[in-house]
Amino acid sequence: MASARAGFALITPASRGIGFALTRQLLAHTDLPICATARKDCDVLHNKLVESVDSKRDAAKRLTVFEVDVTDESSISELASRLREQFRDIPLRLSLTIPGVLRVEKSPSQVNYDDALESFKVNSLGPLLLMKHLNTFLPTKSAQSFSTEPFSPSTGGEKEDSPFKLPLHAIYAMMAARVGSISDNALGGWYSYRASKSAVFQLAKTFDLYLRTRSGNNALAVALHPGTVRTNFTRDYWQASRNVLGPDEAAVKLLQVLCKIPPGTNDGRGHCWDWKGEEVLP
């Protein structure tokens, strides 16, 4: 049973690719209650995730999958209501906000209004609206610290060497992209994707400033760059990339980076970090 000292995790969306892999790693290496989202086929996703991990982890009971469309605020509001009903006073320990859609425009003449609008709805407004409805689940300054032990005897799990160790504070992470960096832009193109992902850098910084006041060292916000991950989303760019990671490898590396970011300094929180632990400048 979930407790305030354990908290819960939320991954949205988790239907495929890096979202699925992040959810799977958290199911496999922690005993946290985990909420995942998908736009459809929630039961199918639940079963697929449960089947992907050791049955001893009691994944079926720990995992809940909600139907959410990040371009529809009413579904995000409904998610918040259901989380409040399910967890009550239990805080959000780890939130991974990773919606993304890519429209490739090599020249300005290829920009299509409807496609560009969809890019901003998914890549920028989706994370913004999730932040709006989820921020109250993060711990306040006066909240008790999370427990250091990610495993609970009640689930029958044995202690083992986990590839990451959850910190004592909450983490709110949003998926940006290196191509959203203005200072790193040397090639141009990808107008709507670059612009919409640039917004995530700003969202992470601004939200973290808010959390410094509301949560102190009990919660921080960051942006992430996962690198080129071997998924259908990046299929056309595998050969052009020096490092192509498998989804589970990328998920573990991102979680390792997240878990090492200190909450009490200006060196980590509010910034964008890649899978190697190196900062991606705005």
Digit-coded pLDDT (tens) for 4-51 = 689 999 999 999 999 999 999 999 999 899 999 999 999 999 999 999
Digit-coded pLDDT (tens) for 142-193 = 998 888 755 444 443 334 578 899 999 999 999 999 999 999 988 899 999 9
Over 69-98, what HEC string results? CCCCHHHHHHHHHHHHHHHCCCCEEEEEEC
Quick one: CATH architecture of 8-274? Answer: 3-Layer(aba) Sandwich (3.40)
Q: Return the amino acid letter for 139.
A: P
Tokens representing 63? 């995992």
Distance from chain centroid for Cα 37: 11
| Cβ-based neighbours of 65, under 8 Å, separated by 6 or more | 14, 35, 36, 37, 38, 42, 43, 45, 46, 49
First to last CA, the chain: 41
Tokens representing 215? 């949560």
Q: Which residues pair with 9 in a beta bridge?
A: 34, 94
Q: What's the predicted TM-score (pTM) here?
A: 0.90
Digit-coded pLDDT (tens) for 186-229 = 889 999 999 999 999 999 999 999 999 999 999 999 999 998 77
